[in-house]
Amino acid sequence: MMTMQTLNTGSLFYATLNALSYFYMVCSWGGYTFIINLIPMHVLLCIVTGRYSSRLYVAYAPLVVLGTLLAALVPVVGFNAVLTSEHFASFLVFIILHVVALVYYIKGLLTPRLFKVAMTFVLTVGLALCLAVVAILAALVASSPTKGWSGRSLSLLDPTYASKYIPIIASVSEHQPPTWPSYFMAINVLAFLVPAGIISCFLPLSDASSFSVLYLVTSVYFSGVMVRLMLVLAPAVCILSGIALSEAFNVLTRSMKFQRPISDDTLPTAGDSTPGSSSTATITTSTKNANIKKEKMGTISKERSSKKSRKETELVGSSPVRPEKEEKLCVLPSEASAMGILFLIMLCGLYVIHCVWAAAEAYSAPSIVLTSRSHDGLHVYDDFRESYAWLRHNTEVDDKVASWWDYGYQTTAMANRTVIVDNNTWNNTHIATVGTAMSSPEKGAWEIFNSLDVKYVLVVFGGLIGYPSDDINKFLWMVRIGGGEFPHIKEQDYLRDGNYRVDAQGTPTMLNCLMYKLCYYRFAETDGKGFDRARRYEIGRKHFKLTHFEEVFTTQHWMVRIYKLKPQKNRVRGKLKLKLKSSSKTSLMRKGAGKKNPWQ
């Protein structure tokens, strides 16, 4: 909105506020790169279509200079504001804008003949300068395997990039492409108002309206790649829907205004006469003389205004339309106008109701306490808090807990225990290590967790109650992320004919990995068949024992299961033998070998 206000006014004050708004977005969200690329795209579009103006220069130049300096003050961004490829488009367009501004300035000073010569020189120098800048930028990013782009940016430009090269980005549910119902859930009736808003922006097309249309088009594309970028789409949808509603209310209210019946009292009558007509006659004669002068002045001003309007219409390329005719074209019957206004008010009211419901139910529902509705009524599942409370009261303060990174924040905050990975883990190797442990056989997983000094392992399982977002459904992402760092983990070993299965058709690698065992341990005892309600079939391996892990806690609905690593066998004896061999005391070694290990 601040960008549009700056485009409309050309005020340096609003340009400064625009840069401060950009700085606020840099501080709050990494998606600021969308804005710093969207605005240069609009500036380049205006230059190509011949819509350059001083307002455009004032709106963009301070943003690049002041916005970049402010963005560099953010510790997370730092020099990335000038060294990464996400920001290079703004600098390149900044140079092009100054070249165009110089051309327009020279055009106002020189004659057409000299302007052609100067134009050739300026374009030559400007093109050489742009090529030099492009060469420098290419040299800076050539050493990077991603050419200076971040993984999230590349996954936006190429939707298949993350699934191929960075599975940890593709594994996040917020990074999945949205479905059509999610669009209607988020924007509801605004989906039908947006096309009308686009049409209104072209009648007539201005710098601000073209920016709104470009904002909508780009945000629709990016929101189709990642569902979390609905946050980027929402402001554009609201702006264009507001424009459509404003135009609709304008037409409907104007129609009712022009069709109001005119009362007879306001109409002048020719037969009206009052005593003192002589005084009124003098007044009328003076008013007539004044009117004659006004008419003469009016004709002169009309001629001047007509010349100006002709010039303006020639520049715009559209024929002039009288306001009277334009008003008549937009006038609707009063009954239809009243019904239309009532319908729009009801539509806005229903949209407010939908927004309140969505904010209360869909977007504000806690992920700790889960609820579901069935024919039996409302069911509340408090298994997460139950498991975190158990960890808090039954484990040592220094004990480490391993789980998938989705539950890292909750475990740290509610159980007050150290986790291996959480939602803010930047090191991909740490997450890959946990994924490798979950994908490995029981003995190999125990060795990995033991090397990390892990005491407890937590898994989320929804097979008993039909909870679909459990670790079994997320398991393939653990395999892919782990296989990206450790080549011995191969996704094909967990698939049967390209399908991911945990029933009797599951692969031996899948049925023997740690994740399968921790989730389905003693699961067949619940109903005697081992029927998984989340995946809707019987599991493949039902009866097995754990040798390196022991179950210590399972919640009421089996949603969270906690296991403890068993102590290492002969650990003290092995250390004792190593010390005795180094000291060459064979007699003590024989004596120590006959003692019983206290850890057994």
Half-sphere exposure of 592 (CA within 13 A, CB side): 16
**Which residue, chain included where needed, has tokens 């391993």?**
402
- For 39-163, where are the E strands, in sequence order? none
- Burial annotation 164-178 (CB, 10 A radius, 16+ → b, else e): ebbbbbbbbeebeeb
Close Cβ partners of 126 (under 8 Å, ≥ 6 residues apart):
95, 96, 99, 102
Most confident of 156-170, 517-531, 565-579: 517-531
**pLDDT (tens digit per residue) in 524-535:** 998 888 899 999
- Greater model confidence, 167 or 329: 167
Whether 366 contacts 383, CB under 8 Å = no
Mean pLDDT across 34-53 = 89
The predicted model gives 392-398 an average pLDDT of 93
pLDDT in tens, 323-374: 444 444 567 788 888 898 999 999 999 999 999 988 887 777 667 888 877 7
* 322 occurs within a structural domain: no
Classify 148 as helix, strand or coil.
Answer: coil
SS3 402: strand
Q: Are residues 416 and 557 located together in one domain of the fold?
A: yes
| 474, part of any domain | yes
What span, in angstroms and rounded, lies between the C-alpha atoms of 429 and 407?
Answer: 18
In a domain, 327, yes or no: no
Asked if 477 and 163 touch (Cβ cutoff 8 Å), the reply is no
Q: Rounded to the nearest 5°, which phi and psi values hold at 159?
A: -60, -20
Is residue 145 situated within a structural domain?
A: yes
- Which tokens is 289 given? 């003389």
> Which pLDDT score is estimated for 581?
40
Could you tell me if 145 and 168 lie in one domain? no
- Do 353 and 461 fall within a single domain? no
Check whether residue 244 and residue 177 sit in a common domain. yes
Pair 391, 339 in one domain: no
Residue finishing a domain among 105, 129, 149? 149
Domain presence at residue 468:
yes
Average pLDDT over residues 12-37: 88
φ/ψ (deg, to 5) at 455: -105, -30
pLDDT value for 297: 52
In a domain, 196, yes or no: yes
- Final residue of a structural domain among 149, 175, 190: 149
Residues 478 and 450 in one domain: yes
User: Is the alpha carbon torsion for 554, 174, 170, 455 positive or negative?
Assistant: negative
Calculate the alpha carbon distances from 267 to 255, 257, 262, 264, 288 in Å.
22, 18, 8, 5, 20
- For CA atoms 271, 272, 273, 278, the dihedral sign is negative
Tokens of 400: 């480490």
CATH number of residue 397's parent domain:
3.40.50.12610
Mean pLDDT confidence for 390-395: 94
* Final residue belonging to a domain, choices 125, 149, 173: 149
Identify whether 235 is preceded by a cis peptide bond (ω within 30 of 0): no
| pLDDT confidence tier of residue 599, bands split at 50, 70 and 90 | very low
Q: Specify the range with the lowest mean pLDDT, choosing from 186-200, 233-247, 253-267, 502-516.
A: 253-267
Q: Are residues 343 and 482 in the same domain?
A: no
Report long-range pairs for 169-176 (Cβ below 8 Å, ≥24 apart).
170/477, 171/474, 171/477, 171/480, 171/481, 173/227, 174/226, 174/227, 174/228, 175/226, 175/227, 175/228, 176/226, 176/227
Residues 466, 390: Cα–Cα separation, whole Å: 23
Q: Enumerate the β-bridge partners of residue 496.
A: 499
304 is a domain residue: no
Number of domains into which the chain is organized = 3
Q: How many angstroms separate the CA atoms of 456 and 449, rounded?
A: 9
3-state secondary structure 469-483: CCHHHHHHHHHHHHH
Same-domain status, 162 and 126: no
- Do 141 and 190 lie in one domain? The reply is no
Cα separation, 151 vs 367, in Å, equals: 28
Whole-number Å distance between alpha carbons of 446 and 444: 5
Comparing CA positions, the residue from 154, 25, 15 lying closest to residue 86 is: 154
The residues with which 554 forms a beta bridge, in sequence order, are: 561
For residues 47 and 122, membership in a common domain is answered with yes
pLDDT category of residue 560 using cuts at 50, 70 and 90: very high
Same domain flag for 198 and 339: yes
The pLDDT score that the predictor gives to residue 151 is 63
Residue 572 covered by a domain: no
**Do residues 166 and 125 both lie within one domain?**
no
What counts of helices (H) and strands (E) characterise the chain? 27, 11
What pLDDT score was predicted for residue 143? 62
- Among 85, 80, 64, smallest CA distance to 138 is for 85
Length of the chain: 600
> Where in the sequence is the domain holding 407, given as residue range(s)?
379-565
The interaxial angle of helices 54-71 and 2-9, nearest 10 deg, is 140
Q: Do residues 6 and 59 touch, judged by C-beta distance below 8 A?
A: yes
pLDDT tens track for 1-22: 677 888 888 888 988 998 999 9
Using alpha carbons, select from 549, 525, 533 the residue that is nearest to residue 440.
549
What does pTM read for this prediction?
Answer: 0.70
In this prediction, residue 205 carries a pLDDT of 85
